[in-house]
DNA sequence: CTTTACGCCTGACGGC
DNA sequence: TGCCGTCAGGCGTAAA
């Protein structure tokens, strides 16, 4: 599932393929994403030119000279740039057709993804307004985490997955970062020392940075009709490894039921 | 204010 | 073999 590193890799993959090209058509095969696809507003952008692709949290922001197309890949979304006449497969819900006979094609089997259209001059959507800092930006560090965590009793795992605290940290990387920092996922966020907040912030940045780096080297290209989108995984320490031995101490990893989501951790290494 | 639960949706998987 | 129940998973929203 696309987490921040996959979204960032997608951004880097599609940006050079679409920038400078004009949007000439919009083909919507199924408008039923998380919210209905704003077909008319997308069509109104025909003729506009793509200027760059940004990312905020797990949202992709396709900047054009007349506004922004904001996309979320949900849990199963992927983007590729293909010849526009490439036969659409099932779950290929939308094409943004470019001026050179190619298209940016969105595939999303579970349809948890979304598309919004932002007019020029209002390039910040309300959904982005309350987001915390990007984990890879300088504003995110142990001091920040420590300050925000004061007085909070909620589990640190939920805390770092809250987009208002830090943007775009999903289940996989939250679990991995907590393992790397030696922090128990159920620990109250407000009961983590400043030093351990430093370690946690560092761990979050590091697992994301490594995954993005890995994406850059293992990902297939974004203009290949045959290849799968190429989502990848770094070598994971805890996620999906319940019952298997901890790579550090050998103890069997356990699952913690947090809400409905399970979190895997090492009972010996994480406190 | 904070925290929790739910619903959206389909593919994968286990049990029978 | 096929059918069915369960679950994962981000995240906005409603509820507590």
Ordered per-residue pLDDT tens for chain A, 271 residues: 788 999 999 999 999 999 999 999 999 999 999 999 999 999 999 999 999 999 999 999 999 999 999 999 998 899 999 999 999 998 999 999 999 999 999 999 999 999 999 988 777 888 998 899 999 999 999 999 999 999 999 999 999 999 999 999 999 999 999 999 999 999 999 999 999 999 999 999 999 999 998 877 666 678 776 655 555 677 889 988 888 999 999 999 998 876 557 889 999 999 9
Contact between A58 and A168 (Cβ < 8 Å): yes
- Helix (H/G/I), strand (E/B), else coil: A41: helix
User: Residue A156's pLDDT is what?
Assistant: 94
CATH number at residue A153: 1.10.8.50
Total number of domains constituting chain A: 2
Residue A80: beta bridge partners? A105
DSSP SS3 for A114:
strand
Q: Which of A198, A174, A172, A182 is nearest to A268 (CA)?
A: A182
Hey, CA dihedral for A36, A113, A56, A42, is it positive or negative?
Answer: negative
- Give the position of tokens 């949202």: A59
Q: Which nucleotide is nearest to A240 (CA to C1')?
A: C8
Q: Is A164 exposed, middle or buried (0-12, 13-18, 19+ CB in 10 A)?
A: exposed
Let me know whether A92 and A24 are in one domain. Answer: yes
A135 is a domain residue? no
Q: Do A162 and A80 have their domain in common?
A: no
Catalytic residues of A: 2-3, 58, 261
Q: Which domain holds residue A32?
A: 4-119
Question: How far is residue A210's CA from residue A234's CA, in Å, rounded to a whole number?
Answer: 8
Are residues A19 and A100 located together in one domain of the fold? yes
Distance A167 CA to B4 C1' (A): 20
Footprint of strand B on the protein (CB under 7 A): A 32, 34, 90-91, 109-112, 152-155, 158, 259-260
Q: A105 and A151 share a domain?
A: no
Q: Answer yes or no: is A125 within a domain.
A: no
Instruction: Say what the pLDDT of residue A220 is.
Output: 63
Question: The domain spanning residue A45 has which CATH number?
Answer: 3.20.190.10
């Amino acid at each position: 599932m696309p987490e921040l590193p996959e979204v960032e890799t997608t951004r880097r993959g599609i940006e050079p393929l679409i920038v400078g090209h004009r949007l000439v058509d919009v083909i919507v095969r199924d408008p039923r994403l998380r919210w209905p696809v704003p077909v008319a507003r997308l069509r109104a952008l025909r003729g506009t030119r793509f200027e760059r692709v940004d990312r905020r949290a797990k949202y992709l922001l396709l900047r054009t000279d007349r506004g922004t197309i904001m996309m979320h890949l949900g849990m199963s979304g992927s983007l590729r740039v293909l010849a526009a006449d490439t036969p659409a497969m099932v779950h290929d819900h939308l094409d943004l057709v470019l001026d050179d006979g190619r298209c940016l094609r969105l595939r999303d089997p579970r349809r948890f993804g979304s598309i919004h259209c932002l007019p020029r001059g209002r390039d910040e959507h309300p959904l982005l307004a309350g987001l915390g800092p990007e984990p890879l930006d300088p504003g995110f560090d142990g001091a920040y985490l420590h300050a925000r965590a004061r007085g909070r009793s909620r589990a640190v795992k939920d805390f770092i997955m809250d987009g208002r605290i830090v943007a775009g940290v999903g289940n996989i990387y939250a679990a991995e970062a907590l393992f790397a920092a030696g922090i128990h996922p159920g620990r109250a966020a407000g009961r983590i020392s400043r030093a351990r907040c430093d370690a946690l912030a560092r761990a979050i940045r590091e697992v994301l940075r490594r995954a993005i780096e890995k994406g850059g080297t293992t990902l297939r290209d974004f203009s290949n009709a045959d290849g799968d989108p190429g989502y990848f995984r770094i070598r994971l320490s805890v996620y999906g490894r319940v019952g298997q031995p901890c790579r550090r101490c050998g103890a069997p990893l356990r699952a913690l039921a947090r809400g409905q989501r399970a979190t895997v951790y090492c009972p010996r290494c994480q406190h």
